[in-house]
Amino acid sequence: MKSLIRTLYLSVMKRFLISIPVISMLMLFSFQPFISVAQEPDRDLFEHQLFIQNGDTLPCRILSPIHFSTGEKYPLFIFLHGAGERGNDNEAQLTWGADLFLDSANRENYPAIVVFPQCAADSSWSARVRKKTADSVGNYRFPMQSEPTRPLELVMNFIDTLISSGIVDVKRIYVGGLSMGGFGTFEILWRRPQLFAAAIAICGGGNPAGAKIYGKNFPIWVFHGAEDPVVPVNSSRIMVEALKEAKARVKYTEYPGVQHDSWKNAIAEADLLPWIFEQKKK
């Protein structure tokens, strides 16, 4: 454990400052007791972290592999939350999805570094602009020439920092998100098209032009509720068609009768984690 903490902490400090309100939180990873099946998931197993760069802060919660071994490299999964979980409490982003990774069987079967960053309340994971009227791309415009939002930029920089620590398997880096995080997923894919081994996007959307940039690089699983009143299902359908045209390995699951909370269905998919963690860059 000391070797892991020292390696990651020193790597981070060489490039950025991490500030933690409690001194014990200086450890990016700590080993916690094994959770029995009968217990409720303990979200405190996700360590509190603050990633600070140039005065901007990205709150993060990080789950370590349950049986960490010095010298071994682990898959990295980044999960981007929805608009309702924005803020700076470093808690709300665990509302959806965290329990899936905390499941004791999943931690045993899929040892990985899992990061849940939190987006600032006044920002977003993507640079989309809402339009007054819908068009073929949905209700949003996606200016690909723009700079990433600061929260998304911080996420990309934090991924780079974790990679530089030497504990990440660079052939097994995954990203996913729901709603606002689904939009952020589609955006980070074209901004970093060579980084990921697989992605999942739940009730989100994006610029279909981006599919040509990353479509052939890794498989993508898209989810949406057919009756979504917040993010129209057409947003995902358009992206799926664009991915197919780009010769991507895309899976699409649409839930009849389901509204915006399709993440509940997606997270409950028995094949979700097996599918994600079997993907590996060549």
Among the residues of 21-149, which ranges form H helices?
Answer: 98-102, 104-109
Domain count, the chain: 1
The residue written with tokens 């479509």 in the block is 215
Q: How far apart are CA 236 and CA 251, in angstroms?
A: 11
Q: Are 150 and 173 in contact (CB under 8 A)?
A: no
CATH number, domain of 237, equals 3.40.50.1820
pLDDT of residue 56: 96
Axis crossing angle, helix 150-164 with helix 2-15, rounded to the nearest 10: 130
Cβ neighbours of residue 218 closer than 8 Å, sequence gap 6 or more: 196, 197, 198, 199, 249, 279, 281
Q: Are 51 and 158 in contact (CB under 8 A)?
A: yes
pLDDT the model gives residue 26: 32
Residue 270 DSSP one-character state: T
pLDDT at 36: 41
Segments of the chain scoring below 70 in pLDDT: 1-39, 131-139
Dihedral sign (CA 179, 184, 187, 188): negative
Please report the pLDDT score of residue 147 as a whole number: 93
Expressed as residue numbers, the domain containing 267 is: 2-33+41-278
At residue 118, the pLDDT reads 98
Q: Which amino acid does the sequence have at 188?
A: I
pTM, whole model, 2 decimals? 0.85
**Tokens coding 181:** 């995080």
User: Quick one: pLDDT at residue 68?
Assistant: 86
Q: Pick from 160, 241, 18, 128: which is nearest to 233 by CA?
A: 241
Map 113-157 to HEC letters: EEEEECCCCCCCCCCCEEEEEEECCEEEECCCCCCCCHHHHHHHH
Gap between the Cα atoms of 100 and 54, Å rounded? 33
Query: Length of the chain, please?
Result: 282
d(CA 175, CA 167): 17
pLDDT the model gives residue 132: 58
Residue closest to 46 by CA, chosen among 7, 101, 86:
101
Check residue 133 and give its pLDDT: 52
Q: Rounded to whole angstroms, how far apart are CA atoms 138 and 78?
A: 26
